[in-house]
Chain A
Amino acid sequence: MSQAKERILTKLRQAQAHSVAHPDVGAYYQDMGAQWGSDLERLRHWADTMRAVNTQIVWVTEANWLAQLTQILADHEIKTLAVPNQTMASQKIQAALAVDAPKTQCVVANQALEACKTEWFNDVDAGFTEVRCGIAHTGTLLLWTSAQEPRALSLIPPLHIALFDTQTLYNDFYSAMQALAMPAGMPSNVVLVSGPSKTADIQLTLAYGAHGPKDLIVLALLPDDIDPTLLGAQP
């Protein structure tokens, strides 16, 4: 034990602090957690909250999300899209872009960042990630780092495109944490994302794109039984 540690802990122990009970966080969220009348209302709240902070929501289905992605890449004139390594979605994107968007080059995140830092910072226009789950109350996406899906995908490129299965939407952060059993197995990085990077550090004026992505587009994957027009989307 280092001397500093020993001295600090000794001083703390000498204080003989009285034990204080741990509050029941679960009971608080059971009583006060966010509730909605229906899944549709909840989904609408999530989308409205994300849109309020400059996030673009595109309602998609399993059948059309690749086409929608291709359209977004064309609209934003994306030359280089970084995708995860060997995930199902990533493989589908690579195959689709090769046919439908040959002008967009796919960069697969399959090498250590040190080897491609300059490329990531200078040449990648957009990064694609999947979303582990959504949080309705605060309009949030929860991203989960893995060997296939590095942090850089949602962080370095100026545009972040996220594929979110809306069936994994939870009421609040507490419900999401419980459902994912997060305390039992945290990955090296979990990040909650609620919009593109922003700052109000200059004269309290809000500006987007401070350091991370300037734009965030969510491809929100709807189950077949939800009609996108009910969520304010074009048919």
Chain B
Amino acid sequence: MKPTEAASRYFKIEAVKALDDNHLRHSLRGAMDGLMSKRRATLANEEELQRLRTVCEGIRQHALSRLPELLEQLEDKLTELGVHVHYAEDKQEACTIIHQIAQAHEAKLMVKGKSMVSEEIHLNEFLAEQGVEAVESDMGEYILQLAHEKPTHIVMPAIHKTKDQVSELFHEHLGSPLTDDVDELIRVGRSALRDVYRQADLGLSGVNFAVAETGTLCLVENEGNGRLSTTVPPVHIAITGIEKVVAQLSDVVPLYSLLTRSAIGQNITTYFNMITGPRRHQELDGPQEMHLVLLDNGRTQAYADEQMRQTLQCIRCGACMNHCPVYTRVGGAAYGTTYPGPIGEIISPHLMGLDDTHDLPTASSLCGACAEVCPVRIPIPDLLIRLRTEAQRSPNEVVPHPIRGQGAAHSVSEQMAWRLFAGVSSHAFGYRLATQMATRLRALTPKRQLGWTQNHVPLRPAAKTLHQMVKEKNNT
């Protein structure tokens, strides 16, 4: 499916389809249970976990509080090292910058390490239209590229695919024999991509942490594809959101520790790659030229509001989606956005506007599991409620930091209903009258109650109000 701006508009329709897919639900359940138990095992020491969360939350909040200065410090450091730094306000600008770099090198082939930001700007599609082929090198992303699909999880992009499906894809596209041996499938993928690293004119990567103090770009990975993509091609382009900066090199130590354990329950990944500029004098490998693209694309909107700014603390571990009862049942594709799950529900409205995403903040039971596991303590449920409020707010209401698409879900009748409820509930006489009426007329309760009765028995008022029951109890 070609990504569209408005894919997330159809979340409710896509969620219903996903719920009907028993295979998807079964495989997601198993995968998420495994990830949750691994995370629990590596974060079993509660004191350590809470202190580490406090440190990491502090590092992210400190960096965000000084974001403009740190961006300038990062740029100065990188420039000193010979890295070209670019700022892009939106996805079109980011794609254009990358294409211009490709043009300057007459590049036809790009090999890509994992980068959610490049997904966010639909870079592959843009480059393809300009005649530049971009090949994903993360094994999961490569599988999805062959399947013409998009990642459904930010850490494990192809989590919804079975080995049989991968085998069929490799058989169809790479001519390998059908097999259910995962080692053999990995060997096939490895072999196909090795030629790409060797031949690529450009290598592109994301960034997990950008260090202002030293100009170091940090990449977290297990496969080595990120190292190959940033080492072998003559030009390395890194792309990241403006929020990924941290002040000091030592800040990455606790962040990295909590990232890997929260994400996949590993104490450490196979590789932690710290790149500080291009190849230096007399060095024999590494890129000869290096670029960093710093992308806004709605992040400054989140930054403008003190509460919403907490969204930008995210270190992209995906723990919130692993623990989310909604994500676990519908999977990532239903969201129609680059970032699915709870983090997607709070960041996508800033990247895409509420017009296209106003259903997403409602894709939560507000159970709080996401906030409980968030390594940097983003209060996701609070932000979801705030976004629901902004989507319901009148588009004409003037507020200090309006969100693009404010009022996208505004409904006069719903507003009236809530006002009526608030009015009745806040006056003793009105409340008593309403509850007494409800208990007396309970037999008239409709059997169908919007979406609720699809999976639940109808809600019915109790035979007696709480006040009546308390009164009776006190009299006995």
- A residues lining the B interface (CB < 8 Å): 2, 4-5, 7-9, 11-15, 17-23, 25-26, 28-29, 31-32, 49, 53, 85, 109-114, 117-118, 121, 137-140, 145-147, 150-152, 155-156, 172-174, 177-178, 182-183, 186-205, 207, 209-213
Interface positions, chain B 267-303, Cβ under 8 Å from A, are 267-286, 294, 296, 300, 303
- The answer for the CA separation of A53 and B143 in the assembled complex, in Å, is 24
In the bound complex, residues from chain A placing their C-beta under 8 Å from that of B296 are 4, 8, 11
Interface residue from B66, B71, B248, B276 paired with A9 (Cβ < 8 Å): B71
A204:B224 contact, CB within 8 angstroms: no
Shortest distance from the beta carbon of B53 to any chain A beta carbon, whole Å: 11
Chain B residues positioned under 8 Å from A22 (CB to CB): 58-59, 62, 247-248
- Check if B126 is an interface residue, CB within 8 A of chain A: no
- B137 and A112 form a contact (CB under 8 A): no
Quick check: B274 and A191 within 8 Å, CB to CB?
A: yes
Chain B residue contacts of A29, Cβ below 8 A = 253
Chain B residue nearest in CB terms to A110? B284
How many whole Å from A216's CB to the nearest CB in chain B?
A: 9
- Please report which residues of chain B, range 233-262, place their CB below 8 angstroms from some CB of chain A when the two chains form the complex: 234, 242, 247-251, 253-254, 256-257
Contact, CB under 8 Å: A117 / B138: no
6 A-B pairs closest in CB distance: A212-B224, A23-B58, A201-B140, A113-B285, A138-B268, A5-B87
Bitwise interface map of B from 49 to 65 toward A, beta carbon under 8 Å scored 1, else 0: 00110110011011011
Q: Which residue of B has the minimal Cβ distance to A25?
A: B250
For the complex, give the distance between the alpha carbons of A190 and B230 in Å: 13
In the complex, what residue of chain B is closest to A137 when comparing beta carbons?
B267
Q: Provide 22 A-B residue pairs closer than 8 Å at the C-beta atoms, listed in order of the A residue.
A: A5-B87, A8-B296, A11-B303, A15-B305, A17-B303, A28-B254, A109-B284, A112-B284, A150-B286, A156-B232, A174-B254, A183-B248, A194-B268, A198-B223, A199-B186, A199-B223, A201-B143, A202-B185, A204-B156, A210-B190, A212-B225, A212-B227
CB within 8 Å of A: which of B47-86?
A: 47-48, 51-52, 54-55, 58-59, 61-62, 64-68, 71-72, 86
Taking the nearest CB of chain B, how far is it from the CB of A77, in angstroms?
18
Contact B139 A151 (CB under 8 A): no
Name 10 extra pairs, CB < 8 A, besides A114-B234, A212-B225.
Answer: A8-B71, A17-B303, A22-B248, A155-B227, A173-B257, A188-B277, A189-B231, A202-B182, A205-B182, A211-B228
B163 lies within 8 A of A188 (CB): no
Q: B309 an interface residue at 8 Å Cβ cutoff?
A: yes
**Are B286 and A145 neighbours in the complex by a CB distance under 8 Å?**
yes
Q: In the complex, A34 Cα to B155 Cα: how many Å?
A: 27
Residues of B within 8 A of A19 (CB): 65-66
Residues of B within 8 A of A187 (CB): 276, 280
CA distance A31 to B47 in the complex (A): 11
- For residue A55, give the distance in angstroms from its CB to the closest CB of chain B: 10
Q: Cβ of A155 and Cβ of B249 under 8 Å apart? A: no
CA distance A11 to B305 in the complex (A): 11
A28 touches B87 (CB 8 A): no
Rounded to whole Å, the gap between the CB of B283 and the closest CB of chain A is 5
CB distance from B119 to the nearest CB of A (A): 16
Whether B253 contacts A177 by the Cβ 8 Å rule is yes
Produce 1/0 per residue, B154-196, CB < 8 A to A. 0011110111001000000000000000110111011001100
In the complex, what residues of A have CB within 8 A of residue B34's CB? Answer: 204
Contacts of A18 in B (CB 8 A): 65, 306
Query: B201 to nearest A CB, angstroms?
Result: 12
Cβ-neighbour of A191 out of B143, B257, B267, B273 (below 8 A): B273
B216: chain A residues within 8 A (beta carbon): 186
Binding site for A on B (CB under 8 A): 27, 31, 34, 47-48, 51-52, 54-55, 58-59, 61-62, 64-68, 71-72, 86-89, 93, 137-140, 143, 156-159, 161-163, 166, 182-183, 185-187, 189-190, 193-194, 197-198, 213-214, 216, 222-225, 227-228, 231-232, 234, 242, 247-251, 253-254, 256-257, 264, 267-286, 294, 296, 300, 303-306, 309
Is there contact, CB below 8 Å, between B278 and A188?
A: yes
Q: In the complex, what's the smallest C-beta–C-beta distance from A170 to chain B, in angstroms?
A: 12
Cβ B48 vs Cβ A155 within 8 A: no
Query: Is B286 in contact with A151, judged by CB distance below 8 angstroms?
Result: yes
Q: How far is the CA of A113 from the CA of B87 in the complex (A)?
A: 31
In Å, the complex CA distance between A207 and B223 comes to 10
Contact present for A17 and B67 (CB under 8 Å)? yes
Q: Is A113's CB under 8 angstroms from B250's CB?
A: no
The answer, among A121, A189, A210, A213, for a CB contact under 8 Å with B275, is: A189
A211 touches B89 (CB 8 A): no
On whether the beta carbons of A199 and B139 are closer than 8 Å, the reply is yes
User: A191-B272, A198-B270 known; A155 and B228 CB under 8 Å?
Assistant: yes
CB proximity of B224 to chain A, nearest CB, Å = 3
Query: Which residues of chain A are near B67, meaning CB under 8 Å?
Result: 12, 17
| Residues in chain A near residue B71, CB distance under 8 A | 8-9, 12
Chain A residues near B72: list those with CB within 8 A. Answer: 9
**A11 to B140 CA separation, bound complex (whole angstroms):** 37
Are A188 and B247 interface neighbours, CB within 8 A? Answer: no
Is there an interface contact between A183 and B285, defined as CB atoms closer than 8 Å?
Answer: no
Is the CB–CB distance between B224 and A210 below 8 Å?
yes
Residue among B31, B159, B186, B247 with the most chain A CB within 10 A?
B186
Chain B residue numbers with a CB within 8 Å of A23 are: 54-55, 58-59, 62
On chain A, the residues within 8 Å of B187 by CB distance are: 209
Q: With A and B bound together, what is the CA distance between A81 and B161 in angstroms?
A: 38
Residue from A15, A138, A182, A193 whose CB has the most chain B CB atoms within 10 Å? A15
Q: Which of B185, B231, B269, B270 has the most chain A CB atoms closer than 10 A to its own CB?
A: B270
Known A-B contacts A11-B300, A183-B248; A210 and B139 likewise in contact (beta carbons under 8 Å): yes
Chain B CB count within 10 A is highest, among A17, A31, A174, A183, for A17
